[in-house]
Amino acid sequence: MTPRAYLDWNATAPLRPEARAAMCAAMDVTGNPSSVHAEGREARALLAKAREQVARLAGVSPEQVVFTSGATEAAALVAAQYEAVSVLATEHDCVHAHGTAEIGVDAAGRALAMPQGTAGLVAIQAANSETGVLQAPRAQEGADLMIDAVQAFGKVPFDFAGSGADWAIVSAHKLGGPKGVGALILKPGRDPQPLLRGGGQERRRRPGTENLVGIAGFGASAAAAWQDIADGVWNSVEEHRHELEAMLRDAAPDSLIAGQEASRLPNTVCLVTPGWKGETQVMQMDLAGFAVSAGSACSSGKVGPSRVLSAMGLDDVAASSSLRVSFGPDTTRDTLAAFAAAWAGHYRRYRRKAA
């Protein structure tokens, strides 16, 4: 039986062995991090270590890291502090849902200039989950800035302080950590009102006993991701992306790669073949042994055009015909070549039927 190939890293990355080991070790720690006895201090030490690891990847001090259940909660915590929230038209649903105004993008998915007088909160993603298009969010006079760094965190260098941002949201499972844990990164002096009432955990910013096992895994995955970036691991991934795109262009010259004119994540290809439904392609490739998607995992199962591609100016037919391939350092050239060959075979059959 041919082994399956996982090419949906932007939905969730495979769990890193470092994260698995840290989580297994944390399961044997009995204490509550808020307890003052020896067992509690041991748990608190694990919590502090993970906070330092995440902070290092973000380029901030540990006190600026607030652990949450994920980026969705972190985004809601920030949005609750504001009445006016301007969001990028291509933002992920967990941020877009809070928008009271929208910031447009050009045909490559790059943010357009914000209207004069924009106030309240401006939310800009560092990298798009569907197209991989990178932004360079910078603080604007008169408004606070939140960066959705979920997809960029751990794949490309992230300079929170240099951006002038007030907030950033990140998630563990996008960089090889466990699902169900994330963090809010905040500017010194920021002190959000919590969404929930309860204890004094996370400096009274997020009450509730910390998910120590998940947080330990998050910290370990952040440390490994920091080392990957330092070692230039993602440069090889980008080379593989270029090779895959060349194979796909050769197989289907009438297809297009969304956002190809912009800087993109090293691991993401959003292929659009107008008329060939994205969900059909996903099912066909799944049967062929390849896990891919038609867009953001949080939007999967929704029939209709991609909101991201529509915002970039694609018509409904094209915006319903995308396939996202996302991979990582463990993905080999042979795997990508096998995927391209399998996809090309289905493409030829689709074209014959459409003729």
- Among 24, 94, 270, 298, the one annotated catalytic: 298
pLDDT of residue 141: 85
Task: Identify the CA nearest to 22 among candidates 208, 219, 204.
Answer: 219
SS3 assignment for 248-307 = HHHHCCCCEECCCCCCECCCEEEEECCCCCHHHHHHHHHHCCEECECCCHHHCCCCCCCH
Q: What is the largest CA-CA distance in the chain?
A: 74
Task: Identify the CA nearest to 237 among candidates 261, 210, 259, 268.
Answer: 268
**First-to-last C-alpha distance (Å) of the chain:** 34
Cβ contact 22:216 at 8 Å = yes
The backbone torsions φ and ψ at residue 86, rounded to the nearest 5 degrees and listed phi first, read -95, 125
pLDDT of residue 303: 63
Q: What is the dihedral of CA 45, 50, 51, 56, to 10 degrees?
A: 130
Cα Rg of the chain (Å, integer) = 21
pLDDT of residue 121: 96
Cβ contact 92:296 at 8 Å = yes
Residue 184 three-state SS: strand
Task: Identify the CA nearest to 170 among candidates 156, 254, 278.
Answer: 156
Domains of the chain, residue spans: 5-13+232-354, 17-230
Sequential pLDDT tens for the chain (355 residues): 568 999 999 999 999 999 999 999 999 999 999 999 999 999 999 999 999 999 999 999 999 999 999 999 999 999 999 999 999 999 999 999 999 999 999 999 999 988 777 899 999 999 999 999 999 988 888 899 999 999 999 999 999 999 999 999 999 999 999 999 999 999 999 999 999 999 999 999 999 999 999 999 999 999 999 999 999 999 999 999 999 999 999 999 999 999 999 999 999 999 999 999 999 999 999 999 999 999 765 554 556 899 999 999 999 999 999 999 999 999 999 999 999 999 999 999 999 988 7
What is the CATH code of the structural domain delimited by 17-230? 3.40.640.10
Q: Where are the beta strands (DSSP E) in the chain?
A: 5-6, 65-68, 85-88, 101-103, 120-125, 143-148, 167-171, 182-186, 256-257, 268-272, 290-291, 322-326
DSSP 8-state symbol, 156? B
> Could you tell me which residues come within 8 angstroms of residue 230 by beta carbon, excluding any fewer than 6 positions away?
none
5-13+232-354: what fold?
A: Aspartate Aminotransferase, domain 1 (3.90.1150)
| Residue whose entry in the numeric block shows the structure tokens 């039986």 | 1
- Beta strand 120-125 with 290-291: parallel, antiparallel or unpaired? unpaired
pLDDT of residue 355: 75
270 is catalytic: no
pLDDT of residue 248: 98
Task: Identify the CA nearest to 171 among candidates 188, 193, 149, 191.
Answer: 149
